Structure 1
Amino acid sequence: MIVSADYSFFDSVIRSFDKAARFTSWDPGILEQIKACNSIYSMKFPVRIGENIEVIEAYRVQHSHHKSPCKGGIRFSMEVNQDEVMALAALMTYKCAIVNVPFGGAKGGIKIDPKKYTAFELEKITRRYTSELIKKNFIGPGTDVPAPDYGTGAREMAWILDTYVAMHPGEVDAAGCVTGKPVSQGGVRGRTEATGMGVFFGIREVCNMVDVMSKLGLTTGVEGKTVVVQGLGNVGYHSAKYFREGGAKVIAIAEWEGAIYNADGLNEEEVFQHRKTNGTILNFPGGTNLPLTSDALELDCDILIPAALENVINGQNAPRIKAKIIGEAANGPLTPEADEILSLKGTLVVPDMYLNAGGVTVSYFEWLKNLSHVRYGRLEKRFTENMNKHIIGQMEDLTGKTVDPKEKTFIEHGADEIDLVHSGLEETMVTATREIMDVWKANPEIPDMRTAAYVCAINKVATSYAELGIFP
């Protein structure tokens, strides 16, 4: 994937890194080590597809070993190339550092169009790829832990796990070799909605900052804010869902075939069902059709959530963007040129490198679950419920009053796995947002939130390297 005619995707990550590094005081040698990809595994292997043998091109890049294991998704796409995988691995390093997830960054990819293969053929490709990773020690619960990405999901992760377990008999922590697995195979509840929920938590925290909202000319909180969401996939759907439930109005939703608009707000589930039935979001009852998906990006709104493709906001359309806040739910929805234009306009861009970290955060929780061999909530859920019931009972006896049944059920509830995962995700996104804003406020010369996020990441990774004693 080429971000610009002048520089590659990895080059653009380096440019952003160098822009932020000027605001740090670390030794140039440490900064060069942080930028470099530590290990790059480029492979080609044969797989029999039907009557023919195909040579499959694939990659796994471990960007940083400052923390172990490395962590990053595996994507199946014809756009996969070494430059893209290197860039995404680097972004994973910075993303994990910002949200305080103790992993080094990694990424993998197989250059195929998964739609052109049967499930059986995809399984053969996935299992062969996994065996290649095992040969070179590029996968393992303490070494490198893949996850789903574009073109992959829980099914592929289950194949990876099964292949790893077969080649590591008796390894008690083998389930931790990959995340994003089905719950029945050691996955964690709450993974599906994690990225969209994390986007909401991050933007909500920004909207709760009085000084930031005052500078943008907006009221505090997400309630009443108008939101435009581009993309009705997993991330876009859940982003829209949590903004609507949080009191915002989702006035437009865009997909590749076009967009729909309703000033009074749209319900993402109704739109999803309409598209499922009709094959398009257009002609949704109560919605006005917009012929181009790009039209939605330029609507007058408070918050714009690009949650689908890369580079949808660029040097050409950035001057027409009216949103006060842009939350990068997708990877790289803004080009560097768009960043510069929007920064001059005073638009707040909440960067993808931390905002869409909900997936890796919950993957971290899944990894911990696999290593501990116990489901979250199993030990304390009933104890908490019994204690809460006892407290309410005592209160009712002492006051002679009865607690409302609905409130009673809510108070008595003991946290189960999904409650704890959501709570952990909220804590992660709130803390990361505050840390980035603190870095930005501490140095007013930092031009934008993306640069502040990079500064935050650089400081954390450099501190790890320095404390390891690698650089005396």
Structure 2
Amino acid sequence: MSKKNQSKAETYSFFSCIEKNFDKAARYIPIKKGLLEQIKACNAVYRMHFPIKIGKEIQVIEAYRVQHSHHKLPCKGGIRYSIKVNQDEVMTLAALMTYKCAIVDVPFGGAKGGIKIDPQIISVENIEKITRRYTSELIKKNFIGPGIDVPAPDYGTGEREMSWIFDTFLSLTHGEVDAIACVTGKPVSQGGVRGRKEATGLGVFYGIRELCKMKEEMLSVGLDVGLNGKKVIIQGLGNVGYHAAKFFHEAGAIIVALAEREGAIYNKKGLNVSNVILHLKNTGSILNFPESKNIEDTEKALELECDLLIPAALENVIHKYNANRIKAKIIGEAANGPVTPEADDILGKKGVIIVPDIYLNAGGVTVSYFEWLKNLSHVRYGRMEKRFSENMNTELLQVIENSCRKKIPIEEKKMILRGPREIDLVRSGLEDTMINGFHKIRDLKKSLKIENLRTAAFVLAINKIIDSYEKLGIFP
């Protein structure tokens, strides 16, 4: 069997990959093994089968909700709709959520849900039936609630499905004053928060931007400080990949390649992401985009010359059979588990900096946390401080104009006077979270002389979980 065929045929247990990374981190933590095993294990796995009438037939739907950790409540994690959903995947993603939340100081335990369907071939009416039935099953077993377990969108789901979940929960839990906080990722009109849609992609951008400000790290991979002019390849043009590409492009990076399922496109001078998306909408494919070269094998696009590689779609796309051919100096894991443990070791020996998924794609859960807080407070962001800020800025400008005896141009005045909108506050909070998270990981890596950012991120997460358990009096 050729190496290429081996890479296609070999399968990885997603959960075992996380366990390997956990075990690497455990070497730096002076605590009894049994206690580490408690942190590693999933607390609760709810596997369900329920019948749904689709057309004239009854179909049995397989679905899951996993709560990985109860060190903090509620649990938090998305729900994905995919024909590939299985227990191993959902358990792994729930574990990742626990570690992500710990790293970015979001007070949730990790959870994840999944329904084994292909939403592309099921009618909207039947997707709604399945979503509402799934929600009712979660309610029966006490697996959903603003203080228990709060779902969110994931692969194959969005605002529409979250709206159905909220409506079903509201109709079946009479008198729950905080019912609106039972799920996040809702439409703004139903208590959602502005900025949620682009949150994960923007968080990826903030995390990589902070790394690229570090002179020591940039020197180690032979790059200049900053994002301007850096060549970027992004695999996956879904919600995360698109927004990451957009923000990198706006910051002056050069998007040299974009990869999707059907293939990839390449232009060494750079691709305009907005135009590529327009082409995709018009033709159904990114291929044959003007002034770009088609690459039939998506995996080959990952091996092109670039400074930054952002896998933003599938797990295990960088593995032991292609890791040696990766030319990127920095890999930012926008997707969950895109680099296998074997590839991690190979890339580490080559000096590649990998910014791990358990930190880098935590933007979504961070902004979900902001939405949850907004729902619990029953006050929209900006309501109390917007006018106050505008009035204070007005007084300040008057003082400046009187002192300088010069009028400030009207357009500039409008920009300065405007108080913070909800999206401004959300993005500011996300930026601060991602910057602080990066420096905590980097500082821990240096102080304990840990080999890479991934292991340091796991050590940080585990230590925070241990601290939570000790405060609860669970660990002796």
TM-score by length of 1: 0.97
The Cα shift of 1:16 comes to: 1.0
1:5 Cα deviation from its structure 2 partner: 5.2
Task: State whether structure 2 residue 460 is matched by structure 1 residue 467.
Answer: no
Measure, in 2, the Cα distance between the counterparts of 1:257 and 1:81.
Answer: 25
Q: Report the residue type matching 1:81 in the other structure.
A: N
* Counterpart mapping for 1:215-364 below 5 A: 215-364=220-369
Residue 55 of structure 1 and its aligned partner are, at CA, apart by 1.1
Contact 1:3/1:335 (<8 A) preserved: no
The question of whether the paired residues in 2 share the 8 Å contact of 1:257 and 1:280 is answered with yes
Aligned equivalents of 2:339, 2:66: Cα separation in 1:
24
Superposed, which structure 2 residues align to 1:384-395 within 5 Å? 384-395=389-400
**One-letter identity of the residue aligned with 2:370:** F
- Tell me if structure 1 keeps the 8 A contact 2:82–2:119: yes
1:208-231 Cα deviation digits (max 9, x unpaired): 111111111111111121111111
> 2:308 corresponds to which letter in structure 1?
I
Separation in 2, partners of 1:251, 1:55: 45
Aligned counterpart, 2:378: 373
Runs of 5+ consecutive residues of structure 2 not aligned to the other structure: 1-6
Question: Which residues of 2 match residues 30-429 of structure 1 at below 5 A?
Answer: 30-429=35-434
428, 431, 436: which one pairs with 1:431? Answer: 436
Secondary structure (helix, strand or coil) at the match of 1:116 reads: coil
Instruction: Name the aligned partner's letter for residue 247 of structure 2.
Output: Y
Runs of 4+ that moved beyond 6 A? none
Identify the range of structure 1 (107-116 vs 356-365) with the bigger mean alpha-carbon deviation.
107-116
Q: 311-320 or 2-11: which moved more?
A: 2-11
* Secondary structure of the structure 2 residue equivalent to 1:115: coil
Question: If the length of structure 2 is used for normalisation, what is the TM-score?
Answer: 0.96
The alpha-carbon deviation at position 246 of structure 1 amounts to 1.1
SS at match of 2:120: helix
Give the equivalent residue in structure 1 for 2:3: none
Distance 2:272 2:411 in 1: 26
The answer for the alignment partner of 1:453 in structure 2 is: 457
Aligned residue pairs total 470
Secondary structure at the aligned position of 1:393 is classed as: helix
Q: Distance in 2 between matches of 1:313 and 1:405?
A: 53
- C-alpha separation between the residues in 2 aligned to 1:214 and 1:109? 42
Q: Secondary structure at the match of 1:59?
A: strand
Structure 2 residue identity aligned to 1:232: L
1:6 and 1:44 mapped to 2: Cα distance? 26
How many percent identity over aligned positions? 66
Task: Write the distance in 2 (CA, Å) between the matches of 1:427 and 1:18.
Answer: 30
Give the residue type in structure 2 aligned to 1:110. Answer: I
**Distance in 2 (alpha carbons) for counterparts of 1:279 and 1:78:** 22
For residues 143-167 of structure 1, give each alpha carbon's deviation from its aligned partner in whole angstroms, at most 9, with x where no partner exists: 0000111111111111110110001
Deviation at 1:272, TM superposition (A): 0.3
RMSD: 1.5
